[in-house]
Structure 1
Amino acid sequence: MHLLCLFLLTVQCALPTGVQSSTDLSRLFDDALSNSRQGNFTEALLNWNHIIDAFPDNPSAWSNRGNTKLALGDSTGAIHDQDESIKLDPNQRDAYLNRGVAEEKSKLWNQAADDYQLILNKNPRDSEALYNFANVQVVLGEWAKAQDFYNKAARERPNFAIARSSQALVAYQLGQFDVAEVELRKLIKSYPLLADARAALVALLWHLNLSGEAQSHWAAVIGLDIRYQQLEWLLNIRRWPEQPALDLMEFIQSVD
């Protein structure tokens, strides 16, 4: 989730009940940001509601409330709030990115891709938009396009480790096993705590009948992130391509 950096407007307007002064409103901003960052989303939603009541023309407040709604599982409400943010400021970048994430949660793949493309039309080097656009292409099975955009995301931000891991996973899906293995081993060397690259290498080693080394890497994966045991999480949240995900599940079944 991408929380936006909010700014406190200095315009004069009627404050809602419970917000008696600009000091109170400043406190609400601080509380909203703090609650959002700490994962206290129910409290954060109340904060954002008060802020929007006070400053309904603040696009950042709408976008942040949308992020909070999404964290609470309300993707429809999140999309609505991002829509309102964009109406207030059509030239911003963050609300389009946030709306795309909410649309992905609602499985509105083409709409999400359109939002990421709007960002890329203005800035073709936006690494987050490149990465998110590639994730959508994975869902759509557009492997070559996904690979191209992961490559671009990794090129624009060389330390974007998860983009590089995704790039290797798509190479794996396309049968480019040597390419995938080289990249995954580079990632593990540079980022030894990156569970994603280790889990991907486990799947690839299993696919290549190298089960001994696969088991040694798997022990590290389990110590880092147990979610890699869950096929639904791999496919629907992390967005692995199908072949690596199925290979990993087959490996797990072999060691249980």
Structure 2
Amino acid sequence: MVKSWQRWGLIALVCSWCWLGGAGVAVAATTQVSQAAQFSQADKQAIADLKQKAFTASESGQFAQAETYWSQLIEYLPEEAALWSNRGNVRVSQNKLSAALADYDQAIILAPTEPDPYLNRGAALEGLGRWSEAIADYNQVLALSPEDAAAYNNRGNAKAGLGQWDAALTDYQTAVDLNPKFAFARINAALMEYQLGHQGEAIRQLRNLTRRYPNFADARAALTAALWGQGQAGEAESNWVAVVGLDGRYKDLDWVSTIRRWPPAMVAALEKFLHL
């Protein structure tokens, strides 16, 4: 059989899998081939077909259909930890967080030394606001894989959920050091700089991000808010025109605050711009 893991993160809800060169939370798969002598050739073909359908549906956002395929695969291969973890991912994408946690728990029982189920479970725990438990899972990922940039970024998210801004910034910066192309770790670091009162440094980082990734709506929206707060109205409004064309969700402060989870200072800055 082919074992393939998918990694999931809350940020997937923000960018619909547009990862901009980052590693970790987007799909990451490893392949190991083993033979299952108990299966007929027809069974093996059915499993291969289901696996292809499951990945295709997962990556195209057809999460309910993907859940069905992963469930069918689990019926064939109940000892395959990756299948439980991957079904958990698509359940999270449907906001079935409790069911997803049960899947990740089973994956961890079956494969306690694999980092991905801990990373995925941590992201689901974040979705439930269980920050300390999420941090414990990310710590476990880092114990197993000390240079996992996604785990540092996600642990930063959970620490930000607890209001631990300095600690969150340290984790984001570590994620960037490990993977300089990790765009969302970079935006998160810039947001923390702004939260900590380092507006000039935040704007510098945000400008760098928008130059490198001109279609990165999150960075442009944050830059809009930060520039407006500094009285740079023309540049702010220019960036906002691009944001509206890329992703209209940034007009919804509740979404920015509770789903994207910008820190309070940046949410307040965007509110001032939107309410002018």
Mark yes or no: TM-score above 0.5: yes
Q: Equivalent residue for 2:77?
A: 55
Cα distance between partner residues in 2 of 1:81 and 1:7: 21
Question: Sequence identity of aligned pairs in percent?
Answer: 37
Q: Equivalent residue for 1:12?
A: 37
Cα gap change, 1:196/1:244 in structure 2, threshold over 3 Å: closer, same or farther? same
Pairwise CA distance, 1:119: 1.0
Q: Equivalent residue for 2:11?
A: none
Counterpart pick for 1:174 among 192, 196, 199: 196
Larger radius of gyration between Structure 1 and Structure 2: 1
Pairwise CA distance, 1:13: 3.9
Cα distance between partner residues in 2 of 1:47 and 1:8: 20
Cα distance between partner residues in 1 of 2:46 and 2:145: 38
User: Counterpart of 1:21 in 2: which secondary structure?
Assistant: helix
**Larger helix share, 1 or 2:** 1
Confirm or deny that 1:209 pairs with 2:231: yes
Confirm or deny that 1:236 pairs with 2:261: no
Counterpart pick for 2:112 among 90, 115, 131: 90
Cα gap change, 1:12/1:108 in structure 2, threshold over 3 Å: closer, same or farther? farther
8 A contact 1:3–1:64 mirrored in 2: no
Counterpart pick for 2:87 among 54, 65, 82: 65
Q: Equivalent residue for 2:15?
A: none
Task: Write the letter of the residue equivalent to 1:128.
Answer: A
Measured on the aligned residues, the alpha-carbon RMSD in Å equals: 1.9
Cα distance between partner residues in 2 of 1:44 and 1:141: 35
Cα distance between partner residues in 2 of 1:143 and 1:137: 7
Q: Name stretches of at least 5 consecutive residues in structure 1 with no aligned partner.
A: none
Task: Write the letter of the residue equivalent to 1:231.
Answer: L
Pairwise CA distance, 1:50: 1.5
Q: Deviations over 1:92-134 (max 9, x none)?
A: 0111111111111122111111111111123332110011011
When the two structures are aligned, how many residues end up with a matched partner? 251
Q: Name stretches of at least 5 consecutive residues in structure 2 with no aligned partner.
A: 1-7, 9-25
Task: Write the letter of the residue equivalent to 2:176.
Answer: A
Q: Deviations over 1:188-245 (max 9, x none)?
A: 2222222222211111112122223211211111111111111122122222111111
The one of the two structures with greater contact order (alpha-carbon pairs below 8 A, sep at least 6) is 2
Cα distance between partner residues in 2 of 1:186 and 1:21: 52
1:146-225 mapped onto 2 (5 Å cutoff): 146-225=168-247
Pairwise CA distance, 1:135: 0.8
8 A contact 2:195–2:266 mirrored in 1: yes
User: Counterpart of 1:159 in 2: which secondary structure?
Assistant: coil
Task: Write the letter of the residue equivalent to 1:144.
Answer: D
